[in-house]
Amino acid sequence: MDFALTETHDMTRRMVRDFVEREILPQSLEFDERQDFPAGWARTMGELGLLGIFVPQEWGGSGLDSVSYAIAIEELARGDASAAVIAAVCNGLACEPILRFGTEAQKETYLRPLASGTWIGAYALTEPGSGSDAAAMRSTATLDGDEWVLRGTKAFVTNAYAAKVLITYARTGPKKHDISAFIVPTDAPGYAVVKKENKMGIRASDTLLVGFDGLRIPAENLLGERDKGFSIAMATLDGGRIGIAAQALGIAQRALDESTRYAKEREAFGQKIAEFQAIQWKLADMATEIDAARLLTYRAAWKKDLGERHTYESSVAKLFASEAAHRAVDQAVQIHGGYGFVKDSVVEKLYRDQRITEIYEGTSEIQRLVIARAVLGK
């Protein structure tokens, strides 16, 4: 078995890390406090090819592999989790379904500007009354001549303020899974922003409640086959969970970095606290779990690059990395003591940013269901 990364992987890490240190770190706490969408970060990520990392160059992307994608998201999250989720949604939830299920015309019209970073993409699956049970959605789409008419409400839509296009789902038949996927330009008649959420973490990433009030889009904006959208949503989430695992991994690594630095500087009882075994064991546990999370995340990305089904591997990576990050940020606050509890502390922000990684794109409970079904052969 070869665990070595390629030269391209190393170059990707250096490039993203340089961008993070140059642009993201100096502004991170400010954007978090203001809850502003970091348009400058998004613009630079587009210019660097970070919004269409694994999209082939023929469609405007960088043409890299999924391991490069995981590395990029990890490094972005070390700087600011909001930057990571902006890129993860554009890559995994906007570009990927069009790349996999779109027509040539859809790829030319929508994928190319998304992958090149000219446009920002969003994803609208969850509704106020349907989260983990995504098939219980109530939004509807009816065909009226050569147009689809959408009605309903979508919750927790990341990137929606800045997005030019979003991938959404609506009910198109009487059965529970008669759901179809659609490409919706945000300037379409009937599209409305209802509310911006005031979140605990990832506050520089906008999260909106949006409405479709008789929204009209051309018939050709159906993505894939009619009534087959639920399978598109689930397949998209398989890849999306790699991005969330990488985001959690980056948060956890930053927590370890900050804790190690602080432990070497902080003195108590006449010595650096890094000399205390209690602190050393916390750091050791954090490092061990982060290493394991990184291997699981990269394995899932590698399996995706092989073109093989990776539902199990993605769920394992997402579950373990998000919960390992939870433990890491908790220990980071403990190591920092009172200084970890104040708002101008990096680890206080990490503590808030991490929590969502155990919720979106499938809660930890849903990941355990997916994993258990694989184990039981269901």
Q: Which residues are catalytically annotated?
A: 361
Whether residue 205 contacts residue 82, with contact meaning beta carbons closer than 8 Å, is answered with yes
In the chain, what's the furthest Cα-to-Cα distance?
79
- The DSSP element (H or E) to which 238 belongs, if any, is helix 229-265
* Structure tokens that stand for 91 in this block: 């890559």
Tally DSSP H helices, then E strands, for the chain.
13, 10
* Structure tokens that stand for 190 in this block: 């009937």
DSSP 3-state of 144: strand
Measured between alpha carbons, how far is 18 from 10 in angstroms, rounded to an integer? Answer: 12
Query: Hey, how many other C-beta atoms are within 10 angstroms of the C-beta on 57?
Result: 13
314-332 residues labelled b (16+ CB within 10 A) or e (exposed) = bbbbbbbbbbbbbbbbbbb
Measured between alpha carbons, how far is 251 from 257 in angstroms, rounded to an integer? Answer: 10
Cβ neighbors of 317 (< 8 A, separation 6 or more) are 241, 242, 245, 293, 296, 297, 299, 300
Cβ neighbors of 376 (< 8 A, separation 6 or more) are none
Measured between alpha carbons, how far is 280 from 47 in angstroms, rounded to an integer? Answer: 41
Measured between alpha carbons, how far is 274 from 281 in angstroms, rounded to an integer? Answer: 10
